[in-house]
Amino acid sequence: MYSLEELQDKVTTIIESKKFEKQPLSLYEPIEYAMHQGGKRIRPLLVFLAANMFTDDLEEAEYPAVAVELLHNFTLVHDDIMDLSPLRRGKPTVYQKYGINKAILSGDVIYAMAYEQLMNCSEEKIPFLVKTITSVLIKVCEGQAYDMSFETRNDVSIQEYITMISLKTSILLAGSLKMGAIVANASKENMNILSEVGLYLGIAFQLQDDILDCWSDLKDFGKVSGTDIADNKKTVLYLSALDKASEQDRQRLIDLYTEKNIDVQKKIAEVKGLFEKYEVRKDVEFLIKQYSEKAIESVEKIDVEGERKQNLINLIHKLLKRNR
């Protein structure tokens, strides 16, 4: 069995050593740029972690590991266009650097490259892997569609928000764990439990991200703080505040999220003030605790020796203490 650090090193080595630049450069340079901006690379790590629960031979896990990182970057490249995000991991987003057209097209190829990776696996596993990654992608896009539709809706519930982030974030974490289990020939039952782990972990992870977007430093987080507020994203913080606020504050929050002629920095400060007044951060931290406990309970149900589960449990704890 590998240690968490060894697996993390494996991921870094594999992704960093991949070369994406070839002709035409106008297409592949943005791909090289997107893929080598660092990032946490949690998804390929989850592939290796899941595979390593059942086998010490991680050779085949490399392909779905690279595939999920490609898929993740594909969604980032396209989402950043849709969300008009200027920064990602502290650097200009692909569309900011290369323009919308190249970002669309490069994103499309990154997606295809994910399938290319899976083609390196043993033939009998390919159908199941392809089925998994395809269903993941469709659900991630459904999540993004819900997310965009929330921007113009005023009646989003916390439950709907959780469903949206399960689609947009959890499904890919679940798919990563599942694909690791597939290449390691795990049982169907273990695969399903691992998908469940990914589901809960993803929700906790995204709720954590909402907190970080609001309160972390640019230096650590790599994105501008408060962008969710600037973009009128109805995050769990906003929805919890709406639930708890007095009629007057509630109306003010809605106004702040709809007014167009407002100084962005002032808006961020005032919204954060309201979040703090109603202590919504504490509520969200409670939710995170609940979902991460569910994730760990699920890990414990996996039918494999206890020590084989420890890496995944440690990662869950680590992820939920992160500051970026």
142 contributes a contact to a second copy by CB under 8 A: yes
Minimum separation from the CB atom of position 152 to a second copy (A):
10
Q: How many CB atoms lie within 10 A of CB 282?
A: 10
Q: By three-state DSSP, how is residue 92 classified?
A: strand
Structure tokens at 316: 């869950």
Of 17, 59, 127, 247, the residue at the interface with a second copy (CB under 8 A) is: 127
Structure tokens at 92: 């200009």
Between 135 and 258, CB nearer to a second copy:
135
Q: By three-state DSSP, how is residue 222 classified?
A: coil
Q: How many CB atoms lie within 10 A of CB 257?
A: 19
The window from 137-145, 183-191, 218-226, 297-305 that contacts a second copy (CB under 8 A) reads 137-145
126 contributes a contact to a second copy by CB under 8 A: yes
Between 46 and 121, CB nearer to a second copy:
121
Between 26 and 265, CB nearer to a second copy:
26
Rounded CA separation 171/152 (Å): 24
The window from 123-131, 221-229, 276-284, 287-295 that contacts a second copy (CB under 8 A) reads 123-131
Minimum separation from the CB atom of position 31 to a second copy (A):
10
Rounded CA separation 124/43 (Å): 23
Rounded CA separation 76/54 (Å): 31
Helix (H) or strand (E) holding 91: strand 91-92
Tell me which residues in 71-100 interact with a second copy (CB under 8 A). Answer: 78, 81-82, 100
Strands 87-88 and 91-92: antiparallel
Q: What phi, psi does 87 have (nearest 5°)?
A: -125, 150
Cβ neighbours of residue 70 closer than 8 Å, sequence gap 6 or more:
35, 110, 111, 113, 114, 117
Minimum separation from the CB atom of position 150 to a second copy (A):
11
The window from 7-15, 109-117, 183-191, 192-200 that contacts a second copy (CB under 8 A) reads 109-117
Of 67, 137, 239, 284, the residue at the interface with a second copy (CB under 8 A) is: 137
Q: Which residues bind a second copy (CB under 8 A)?
A: 23-24, 26-27, 78, 81-82, 100-102, 104-105, 107-109, 111-113, 115-116, 118-119, 123, 126-127, 130-131, 134-135, 137-138, 141-142, 144-146, 148-149
